[in-house]
Structure 1
Amino acid sequence: MNKKVIKVNADDNVIVALTDLQKGETVEYNGESFTLQTDVAAKHKFVTGDLKIGDEIHMYGVLVGKASEPIAKGARITTTNIKHAVSGEFVVNQNDVKWNAPDVSKWKGKEFLGYHRSDGKVGTANYWLVVPLVFCENRNIEILKEAFLKELGFAKPNNYQQQVKELVKLKESGASMEEILNFQFTVEASTSNQKSAQFPNIDGIKFLTHEGGCGGIRQDANVLCSLLASYITHPNVAGATVLSLGCQNAQISILEEEIAKRNPTFDRPLFILDHQQSGSEPRLLTEAINKTFAGLVKANETKREPAPLTKLTIGVKCGGSDGFSGISANPAVGYVSDIIVGLGGSSVLAEFPELCGVEQELVNRTVKKEDAEFFLQLMKKYAANAAAVGSGFDMNPSPGNIKDGLITDAMKSAGAAKKGGTSPIVDVLDYPQQVKNPGLSLLCTPGNDVEAVTGLAAAHSNIVLFTTGLGTPTGNPVAPTIKISSNTKLFNKMHDIIDVNTGTVIEGDETIEQAGGRLFDYILKVASGEEIISAVRNGQDDFIPWKRGVSL
């Protein structure tokens, strides 16, 4: 550790502790001394001068809160002495956006090995999708899953079955309750991905279930069909089997209409089965198995071939964030976003509740005035919906966020926005729209990890970058989700679910640009199928459609 503290922006009046600091300790930053009035744990902040009630607190160069009681120079900020605050007035102009793009000469002319689709898109994986139009078919999806995965060699090994067998033996031997509770069982983390000998060019069969499709309101069913259409037409998807009950709100005709909107010449194998038309469950499942198997034969004909980096679309997301996320992992991901945009590819920044407080900065980067206005409209509507049920963006930080230094939503948001880098914003998308143009797009989703990643995949991100400071296993069925730690302690502790460490930035061993460049090289290996990430190895296929209710 080269430094004990850091000020993120020259205009900030808080300093971040990079290591645990003790009350009475004196630290120096840029020639100024600060004697700490309280203990300041790593990731937390102390103020650089005396503050009165109502005084503003700035971090990342933006307003992140106001003092709710007097705070002495060198004292730690907490949920009791500051409150969430943001600038509420925004100015929208027709912007002539200037951008100082990073040097991408190192990657110019490079390619990745991907699956080419007839619509011109390229997948980083080749999955078959099996999904219900309504929750009534979830059990049948599970039956199909059990039938296919083990028989074709796609099933993940379950080492914990052996633990249960050992416990049965222990019980039968007359072991005491204490002996059972203290039984030691070692599980080796999976280091490989299951591939099928029958279908070597297919990366997996993904079985999705959900709780939608009927009941609720008709808009929910329509949005679900839009979401499923986005997954079926995703460049990482080779084809799909869809089970419909028949009478539900999410009708087959709506799904077909949404698919046509996204890809009018859609030509990948697609089998839609109607349970009520099929009659008996065995007849439905037998037909589904035959058609799915035939589809797999067709999908296996597609092989990885060289593709330009312009065909890459990354989604960026953070979850289980800590006080280092906005200093290491998020800026490194932002640098990757800038690299991809600089090379002619696409990047998508989501989770609107975590853009609260940086609206003006994003508006200033938005190329088209109408997009800037649409962004503010979506943010205003989202905030109003939260307020209508007695909540608000200020309630977004979780207990884990707060414990590890993210005191207000504005502070959390200012660090979260760093994932979007510095490039111009070319589009603002509503859920579950897909990317339309190369460059950086904003996508309206909740901050909720899985709902947001589900939306990023629907936007046709063919890889998702997910930063975390506390640790989360989040993955996605169709978009490989790379997990990036903000600190080395987490990387070492939860190495089975984390892929890349950027704690090196905190320790002073790498710059943000160096960490970002290293991450981008890793992404190219993942995109070509050369690296199998933890979420894929672990079978972490999280999928939660957003019903457009209040979810922070």
Structure 2
Amino acid sequence: MSEATAAPGGATTAEATAILLRDEDDVAIATADLPAGTTVSVGDRAVTVATTVPRAHKLAVRDMTIGTALRKYGQVIGRTTRAITAGEHVHSHNLAFDDGAREYAFGTARETPPARMRGRTFDGYVRGDGRVGTRNFIGVITSVNCSASSARMIADQFRGLGALDDYPHVDGVMALTHGSGCGLVPDSEGGRTLLRTLRGYARHPNFGGLLVLGLGCEMIPVTALVEDLELPEGMVVETMTVQETGGIRATVRTAVERIRAMLPQVDRARREPVDVSKLVLGLNCGGSDGYSGITANPALGYASDLLVGAGASSVLAETPEVYGAEHLLTRRAVSEEVGRALLDRITWWQDYAAAGGGTLDNNPSPGNKAGGLTTILEKSLGAVAKAGSAELSAVYEYAQQIDTPGLGFMDTPGYDPVSVTGLVAGGATVVCFTTGRGSVLGSKPAPTIKLATNSEMYRRMHEDMDLNCGRIVDGTATLEEVGEEIAETILAVASGRQSVSEELDLGQDEFQPWQLGTVT
């Protein structure tokens, strides 16, 4: 028999193999594979493992009858589908989603985040409108899919070793291509969403120059992407269409000439120290597991609180993956209006899922379940930990401009590339992305920092991860220590240090606007 300890409230030792997050929880989280017959000391009780419990999965710490509302994080995550005895593995075979009533309150749990990062700076690019970029790219933005191949050919002329050696202050030339722009009604929800996304990228502070490229006969013309956009002084902008320029070959030749003419001016930009309050952080996760809610997500939430306390903006996203935890966010809302705006988006998603023949509890994915997550309620309760404890200051539509300091929420799908695209379109200049199963996501022009939730995956995929948050469970670092490290990593990357996804030149193909509405 092996023994391990886990103190109430989540305090653990290096030898711990099960963690009880709250005294009232019905389950603990295995931090190692627990064979049947193992005795584990959880809080003030000894539990003998009845059936093998995989690492990151749930272990029952008390007997439960069929139909019990089971708790983790101190919140209901589902209802038992049969009687469960202490020591059993709790997962899809004996626990199911149960959309019980949640009590909504507004502004009853507002907290002021710590202010100890006030006065800190990062080295950024100050744009003519006062916003600050963390990178200095030239973007080739397409108004329609018909110009996508041409845009890639243009950007490819500036990729590879030596292509921009004469312009050391230009981070690259990137193509933003997508599968829409025609065949949809411009004033429809889908048309407005696409236009808002493209215009958000066009005015992003990480761009020093733009070439907007269309075919010439699309429903969303190139002029719509930049007209009345109030681009910052000094931004270099060119617009072209393939039809007017004479076809693909002529377009590529002409566009390359125009970008070469832009390069000297874009290269004049220089980094300078700016207050951390100018930072806009996007929070996202993907490939979550049973560790996500106890390591990387709360550590990122801790870092988010530090930045928000210094006046920065930090934005949570993925509406289907806060479903079941939205009542915790409304309690942190600065006003009832902000809280109800979040609930309105939840209602929209319930209707949207029903119209497509589904429900929001179709989540978690098979990979999430293999990693120990059973219901969307459990997944969401872990996901909202990325938002720390700061009060909720604003709720944004997809790709809407982030204009309120503090913690915000953006309505996006849970699909990682689409969600991150919305955050970057809104103005996020750095993205932090937590993953337990392993993700190879990148983003441009805003860099993505990838945070591993567990040490096993980090060792296996360390070349794709920026930081290992699994040390929290291993007992080699505290949550606060990892949170501080994340905050310092954010400032370093904002100041120009490449993230691992940037080293691999990822992000161009991950530009994926949310496609909504009828296509004709």
Give the TM-score normalised by the residue count of structure 2.
Answer: 0.93
Q: Alignment partner of 2:89: what SS?
A: coil
Partner deviation per Cα, 1:108-152 (whole Å, 9 max, x = no partner): 3221111110111111111110121111111211221232224x7
- Does residue 55 (structure 1) correspond to residue 65 (structure 2)? The answer is no
Q: Is the 8 A contact 1:64 1:86 kept in 2?
A: no
User: Using the alignment, how far apart are the partners of 1:266 and 1:58 within structure 2?
Assistant: 54
- The CA deviation at 1:96 is 6.0
- Does residue 239 (structure 1) correspond to residue 209 (structure 2)? The answer is yes
- The CA deviation at 1:287 is 2.5
- The CA deviation at 1:427 is 0.2
Letter in 2 for 1:249: M
Q: Is the 8 A contact 2:184 2:219 kept in 1?
A: no
User: Using the alignment, how far apart are the partners of 1:463 and 1:88 within structure 2?
Assistant: 36
Picking from 98, 102, 112, the partner of 2:110 is 98
List aligned pairs for 1:20-419, cutoff 5 A: 20-93=33-106, 95=107, 98-102=110-114, 104-105=115-116, 107-150=117-160, 153-154=162-163, 196-218=164-186, 219=188, 220-257=190-227, 260=229, 263=230, 267-419=234-386
User: Using the alignment, how far apart are the partners of 1:49 and 1:265 within structure 2?
Assistant: 61
Q: Alignment partner of 1:428: what SS?
A: strand
Letter in 1 for 2:50: Q
The residue that corresponds to 1:463 in the other structure is 430
User: Using the alignment, how far apart are the partners of 2:482 and 2:470 within structure 1?
Assistant: 9
- The CA deviation at 1:534 is 0.9
User: Using the alignment, how far apart are the partners of 1:312 and 1:435 within structure 2?
Assistant: 11
User: Using the alignment, how far apart are the partners of 2:480 and 2:112 within structure 1?
Assistant: 14
What root-mean-square deviation, in Å, do the aligned CA atoms of Structure 1 and Structure 2 show? Answer: 1.7
User: Using the alignment, how far apart are the partners of 2:327 and 2:354 within structure 1?
Assistant: 21
Q: Is the 8 A contact 2:40 2:48 kept in 1?
A: yes
Percent of aligned pairs with the same residue?
36
Q: Alignment partner of 1:115: what SS?
A: strand
Across the two proteins, how many residue pairs are aligned to each other?
501
- Does residue 2 (structure 1) correspond to residue 15 (structure 2)? The answer is yes
Structure 1 unaligned regions, length at least 5: 155-195
User: Using the alignment, how far apart are the partners of 1:281 and 1:422 within structure 2?
Assistant: 52
- The CA deviation at 1:356 is 1.1
Q: Is the 8 A contact 2:313 2:407 kept in 1?
A: yes
Q: In terms of mean alpha carbon deviation, does 133-142 or 418-427 score higher? A: 133-142
Q: Alignment partner of 1:365: what SS?
A: coil
Partner deviation per Cα, 1:173-192 (whole Å, 9 max, x = no partner): xxxxxxxxxxxxxxxxxxxx
Letter in 1 for 2:275: P
User: Using the alignment, how far apart are the partners of 1:265 and 1:504 within structure 2?
Assistant: 43
Picking from 492, 502, 515, the partner of 1:536 is 502
The residue that corresponds to 1:11 in the other structure is 24
Q: Is the 8 A contact 2:287 2:436 kept in 1?
A: yes
Letter in 2 for 1:48: V
Q: Is the 8 A contact 1:62 1:357 kept in 2?
A: no
Give the TM-score normalised by the residue count of structure 1.
Answer: 0.88
Q: Is the 8 A contact 1:222 1:250 kept in 2?
A: no
Q: Alignment partner of 1:294: what SS?
A: helix
- The CA deviation at 1:253 is 3.8
Partner deviation per Cα, 1:445-499 (whole Å, 9 max, x = no partner): 0111111111111121110000011111101121100011011111111111101
Q: Is the 8 A contact 2:127 2:232 kept in 1?
A: no
